[in-house]
Structure 1
Amino acid sequence: MSVLDFCTEFPWLIPSLNSKPPRYFHGLVGIAIEQECSTVLEYMRKFQAVCTSAHSKQDSFREIPLPPASFFKSILSQLEDIGWPKVFEIPSDFAYITLQESDVKGRLHKIKIGIPPGYPEEEPTVDVDLPREFQFSWNSVGGLPLIFAAFKDQLSSVQQFWDVLDDLDETAVVLDPQHPERRHKTRRIFLSNHVNVQLTVSVEHPCNLPQFHFFGPSSLTTPLNNCLTEKYQDWDPEQSIVNNIERILGVEVVKRSAQSGGGNEEWGAECAVCYSLLLDGCHPDLTCDHCSQSFHLNCLYEWLHGLPNSRQSMKFIFGDCPYCSRLISCKVPA
């Protein structure tokens, strides 16, 4: 089929022969790139040349069965309804389609839609970075625009949640997760007294009091837990999480501007045995009550197990702290 025959057969696919090649052309053939072809006509001529070359060497190619033309026409027609600027990626086999949308704060969000062979009768799969389960009612008539509309609706419903966590990420030193995703509802941050706290923020009510879990020596975490129990009603939804913590607990949150390249060890987050923050994906969750140093469970157990004067009772092992030599204990790993 010549270029002009193709344009005559599929006029809905070609916006203008003199226009710039649409992004979906690159996804369909994966050959020409925008820098090489300034117009659709140039693009189609290059495409024809490559196909002709491939046909002449067909013995070296394995035939790959393709879905019927109606499959592609249906998808492209639905993408036209959504708008091509919303299309981020389409592989050559149409195995999935990635769409993008910006929220009211300009944050870019993507949704990856897996296209099954039986589309549109067969329901597609969806992968999206949201803090709650993505829900939509599928029907073959609504198709991709239906999924994208549900995606936009759910984006708008969690704007305040992301605003709260973005403010926390920009203000505090976040220990975990190291690279927060939009689906993450927890943040583990440093306090200035060598205690760190894990906060779980509600998706439905992000400005309300989050769940607290303190990590550190009991001599420091117990007073903080008691203070939170006594003053939790003073939590002000109009203030940020950082301001509320400092006002209610009476302890400063370590700010990002205060980290000054000192690293996590400056705040007692690194394991005092292996000098690492992560070990098999786990953070140091044990702390010495005397020196406030942190340890991974496995690291502390291996240290204590190797001491000649350590002793084990039931599921616990006791011995000298590797940092201050005072008595410390931990559970025996399962």
Structure 2
Amino acid sequence: MQRRLLTLQKLINDFPCVVPQDSNLTEYAGFLCVRQRQFRISVSSDCSIFHADKQLIHILGSDIDIVTERLKAAADPHDFLIELRDLIERAISKEDADRPLLKEADLPPAFYYEHLLSEIEALGWGRVESIDRTMRSLDLNITDSAQRKHTIQILLPVDYPREPPTCVASLPQEFTPKLGEHHILNDVLNQYGQFIERFQDFFRVMEDFDSNTCILEPEHPTWRDTYRRVCIGKHCSVRIEVDPRAPISGFPECRFLGSENAVAPFKQHLNQNIHKWDITGGTLPRENLQGVLELQFPSRESLMKDTEDVLLDECGICYSYRLDDRVPDIACDLKECSKPYHRACLVDWLRALPDTRESFGTISGNCVYCEHPIVVSMKPI
């Protein structure tokens, strides 16, 4: 505890916007301020878990691998944040250096800005989440009936409003507004608000999974993502695909991932108990699945108490947990081994061996650690 108190004192001095999240000082969260820009981050006291907002992940780009290495080597959160701040400084400097200078020919005519500003004034600047320096891309926000905040990106052509804008929305289905000649931004936002109301049940279902289970993938879910990979045990998970058209009454597609020994009982429960599924729409899919699979989905907090750290089992080949945003999805079937691998890592490893066999989209060989036979589908999930 004394060491954690010393770390807290250093953080207060150098990172006053990063504060402890509990009395035991096991996690810190807040804002990292670099060059008058703020990035939301969180890090555990043992430097085993780190989360960053989308803006920071975008700025770091390929340097995110370096961040992972620095996290593993850091003595405490303070030392890690010092190195992270340096990395962000260099990334921002490179971003500024690579940014091309604007030419007058690239800018829209004066009428474009006059019309756009008049539309924004009518809409209200409070609706503008962000706007780029050329004012050709802006994010507008809206709140749905359940008080969820949504944004939509509007990409404007140079000859706007004569040519319609392009709309990019983070939703499970494509949004294409019908536009008139006047008050285009207001029309877009109104139609977007009506469109997102179709997905209230879908939002509720996905929020229920996110709040009550341990989500392995996607790492940063958006409303565009219709699936969740949920941890159900050590080296064992289920990928749940939800139909946004019938998120509650429809039966989600379930694919179990892990060694056959680990997933076989769940497959058996699914086949035997499928009749228990409540098709009336009165039960959320998570609750339905718990009844059918005869389990209680563990939360991230409960799993983190496991000294074996079931959440962060690294790949037995590349020794990383995440590879191109994917986590290990293959495990050795031998119960005593159960070593996890990224599918891509294992396929590449087996292909390099002379006695490996390939046929009908699968590759067969032996576990890297225990030599137990292992068969891998080369088709990604």
Residue 92 of structure 1 deviates from its aligned partner by 4.3
Matching residue of 2:5 = none
Matched, 1:64 2:108: no
Residue 119 of structure 1 deviates from its aligned partner by 1.0
Inter-CA distance 238–264: structure 2 relative to 1 (3 Å threshold): farther
Matched, 1:290 2:365: no
Task: Provide TM-score, normalisation by structure 1.
Answer: 0.71
Inter-CA distance 332–216: structure 2 relative to 1 (3 Å threshold): closer
Matching residue of 1:82 = 123
Show CA shifts across 1:54-74 (max 9, x none). Answer: xxxxxxx99836645443332
Matching residue of 1:47 = none
Residue 231 of structure 1 deviates from its aligned partner by 2.6
Give 1:132's aligned amino acid: Q
Show CA shifts across 1:104-137 (max 9, x none). Answer: 3332211111111111110111122111101211
Give 1:225's aligned amino acid: K
Query: What's the % identity of the aligned pairs?
Result: 28
Matching residue of 1:95 = 136
User: Match for 1:242 among 286, 293, 299?
Assistant: 286
Matching residue of 1:200 = 241
Answer with 98-107 or 165-174: which moved more: 98-107
Equivalent-residue separation in structure 1 for 2:358 and 2:102 (angstroms): 64
Equivalent-residue separation in structure 2 for 1:142 and 1:114 (angstroms): 15
Give 1:128's aligned amino acid: A
Inter-CA distance 104–89: structure 2 relative to 1 (3 Å threshold): same
Give 2:221's aligned amino acid: P
Matching residue of 1:272 = 316
Equivalent-residue separation in structure 1 for 2:265 and 2:306 (angstroms): 27
RCO higher in structure (CA 8 A, sep ≥6): 1
User: Match for 1:188 among 202, 221, 229?
Assistant: 229
Matched, 1:318 2:365: yes
Equivalent-residue separation in structure 2 for 1:229 and 1:213 (angstroms): 13
Q: 1:1-334, aligned counterparts within 5 Å? A: 64=104, 67-192=108-233, 194-208=235-249, 209-236=251-278, 237-260=281-304, 265-266=309-310, 269-291=313-335, 292-301=338-347, 304=350, 311-315=355-359, 316-319=363-366, 321-330=367-376
Show CA shifts across 1:67-88 (max 9, x none). Answer: 4544333223322332232122
Matching residue of 1:56 = none
Inter-CA distance 101–293: structure 2 relative to 1 (3 Å threshold): same
Inter-CA distance 290–108: structure 2 relative to 1 (3 Å threshold): same
SS at match of 1:207: coil
Equivalent-residue separation in structure 1 for 2:274 and 2:282 (angstroms): 15
Show CA shifts across 1:288-321 (max 9, x none). Answer: 11133321234334555677xx7233443423x2
| CA contact 2:339–2:369 (8 Å) conserved in 1 | yes
Inter-CA distance 97–306: structure 2 relative to 1 (3 Å threshold): closer
Task: Provide TM-score, normalisation by structure 2.
Answer: 0.63
Residue 276 of structure 1 deviates from its aligned partner by 2.0
Answer with 186-195 or 173-182: which moved more: 186-195
User: Radius of gyration: which is bigger?
Assistant: 1
Equivalent-residue separation in structure 2 for 1:73 and 1:299 (angstroms): 54
SS at match of 2:304: coil
Inter-CA distance 216–91: structure 2 relative to 1 (3 Å threshold): closer
Give 2:104's aligned amino acid: I
SS at match of 1:179: coil
Show CA shifts across 1:122-168 (max 9, x none). Answer: 01111221111012112223411111111111122212211111121
Give 1:155's aligned amino acid: I
Give 1:143's aligned amino acid: I
SS at match of 2:152: strand
Matching residue of 1:25 = none
| Alignment size in residue pairs | 271
Residue 261 of structure 1 deviates from its aligned partner by 5.8
Inter-CA distance 77–293: structure 2 relative to 1 (3 Å threshold): same
Inter-CA distance 87–220: structure 2 relative to 1 (3 Å threshold): same
Inter-CA distance 81–220: structure 2 relative to 1 (3 Å threshold): same
Equivalent-residue separation in structure 2 for 1:142 and 1:269 (angstroms): 53
Equivalent-residue separation in structure 1 for 2:282 and 2:218 (angstroms): 25
Inter-CA distance 124–328: structure 2 relative to 1 (3 Å threshold): same
Inter-CA distance 192–118: structure 2 relative to 1 (3 Å threshold): same
Residue 204 of structure 1 deviates from its aligned partner by 1.7
Inter-CA distance 193–232: structure 2 relative to 1 (3 Å threshold): farther
Residue 217 of structure 1 deviates from its aligned partner by 2.0
Structure 1 gap ranges (5+): 1-60
Equivalent-residue separation in structure 2 for 1:81 and 1:134 (angstroms): 23
Inter-CA distance 333–312: structure 2 relative to 1 (3 Å threshold): farther
